[in-house]
Amino acid sequence: ISEMGANQNMSDFERLPKELVREIIERAPESIFNLRLTSRVLKSLVDDYASSLKVKIHVVDHLCITSFENQSENNIQIVAHVPKSHADLFELRIMLKFRSLPFDANSRIVRSFGRLPDHPNLYRLTNSLFDDGTLSLIDCIGPLIRRVSLYDYMGNKFKEITKKLEGFEFRKMAVTLISVSNNTNHHHNGNHPGSNTDNDVDTLMETVKAHNLDHVSLSVDRISKNVQAKILIELSKLVHSIFHTFSEVSFCPYGLVPGSDSRDDRPELIMDIFSSGTFNTLVVDNRSNPPFLSTNGANILKQHLPILGKKIWFESTCDISTGCRKETINGHVVEVFMSDGKRLSLKVKHSSRMTESHEYF
């Protein structure tokens, strides 16, 4: 009888099926704390939802994971970029996650609130790389993320970083590495504590496959030519688009020799990359000389890329200094332009994709 009486005292909203209440919360997550104050029943429903691993919205828009060394200690930093409309839901997930800890974990999270409405709130937490995971923002994020950025500034912790991504769904990933070579014993500058190897290339491919990614951005300070080609070819078979930034290419037994490689085979490499399935975007930006493409290589790609039968976007630094007029070939705008005020770049981009920018990815 008491249970019947309790049910009779419940509001129409409280009687709604749990699934419908979840949908209402996801449509207005900014009201989650007000909803908790309405009644004990709704507080319980809200907390159950907030604690769930089945949240169907992107609580976190952008997740950044960084490995770095500080005072001889290996650290990992998690930064969650949370849209303002989802900030209350994220705060509640933090509160429910950390409330059982015997210390004030919440105070260790550094918060930065964007001033403009469209700027996200940032939540930053730094731990030892090999802690037990008790104090972690990872469990507060929810299963869906729009994009992920990984920074391995230690040069040898990439696999440990990628383990943090297990269970998440996302389609865009940016990776920053110090250097990549298939020779683990090469000499390197003392400012760089380590070097990524072929094992990390394998880890990159495994991560791309596991999460069925659409886009990868790869930034590397130093990379050997053969590994660079291997990465680009293998990635092009798995994703639709690649942005690749690097500073120096080619290793030799006595150190790095920038530009010591021949660029004559790069047009063939680019053509092979674009022949892969649904792959349609490659943007290459190297921050040192020589440019990625020679004049001859750029001229070859200007002629052949527009007629591959795809709506492609290709962009790369190049040597061309004459004959730089803008033209349209088979629906593609082909031009050589100053990419940053001092370096020439070749762009081959389908006219239907002209509004797409680097920020789009």
Confidence band, pLDDT 50/70/90 cuts, at residue 132: low
Output the pLDDT for position 183: 55
Output the pLDDT for position 97: 86
How are the residues of the chain apportioned to helix, strand and coil, as percentages rounded to the nearest 5? 35, 30, 40
Q: What is the 3-state secondary structure (H, E, C) of 309-327?
A: CCCCEEEEEECCCCCCCCE
Q: Would you say residue 306 has pLDDT above 70? A: yes
Output the pLDDT for position 136: 78
Is 60-301 a domain of CATH 3.80.10? yes
What count of Cα atoms within 13 Å lies in the side-chain half-sphere of residue 66? 12
Output the pLDDT for position 257: 45
C-alpha 96/C-alpha 111 separation (Å) is 18
Mean pLDDT of the chain: 84
Reported as a single tens digit per residue, the pLDDT across 23-72 is 888 888 888 998 888 888 888 888 988 888 778 889 999 999 998 888 77
Query: In percent, how much of the chain has pLDDT > 70?
Result: 85
- Provide Rg for the chain, Cα atoms: 25
Q: Would you say residue 133 has pLDDT above 80? A: no
- Which segment, 91-95, 291-295, 305-309, is predicted with the most confidence on average? 305-309
Q: Would you say residue 209 has pLDDT above 50? A: yes
For residues 195-217, average pLDDT: 88
C-alpha 66/C-alpha 19 separation (Å) is 36
Output the pLDDT for position 276: 85
Residue spans per domain, the chain: 2-51, 60-301
**Of 306 and 132, the one with more pLDDT:** 306
Output the pLDDT for position 198: 63
For residues 117-125, average pLDDT: 90
C-alpha 222/C-alpha 342 separation (Å) is 22
Pick from 4-13, 79-88, 320-329: least confident: 4-13
For residues 167-185, average pLDDT: 82
Output the pLDDT for position 82: 95
Rounded to two decimals, the pTM is: 0.84
Reported as a single tens digit per residue, the pLDDT across 75-113 is 889 999 999 999 999 999 999 888 877 677 778 899 999
Confidence band, pLDDT 50/70/90 cuts, at residue 324: low
Confidence band, pLDDT 50/70/90 cuts, at residue 197: low
Reported as a single tens digit per residue, the pLDDT across 47-60 is 988 888 778 889 99
Confidence band, pLDDT 50/70/90 cuts, at residue 255: very low
For residues 178-194, average pLDDT: 54
Length of the chain: 361
Number of helices (H), then strands (E), belonging to the chain: the values are: 10, 15
**Of 122 and 72, the one with more pLDDT:** 122
Output the pLDDT for position 253: 39
DSSP state of 331: T
For every residue of 17-51, DSSP letters joined together read -HHHHHHHHHH-GGGHHHHHTT-HHHHHHHHHHHH
Q: Would you say residue 330 has pLDDT above 80? A: yes
Q: Would you say residue 8 has pLDDT above 70? A: no
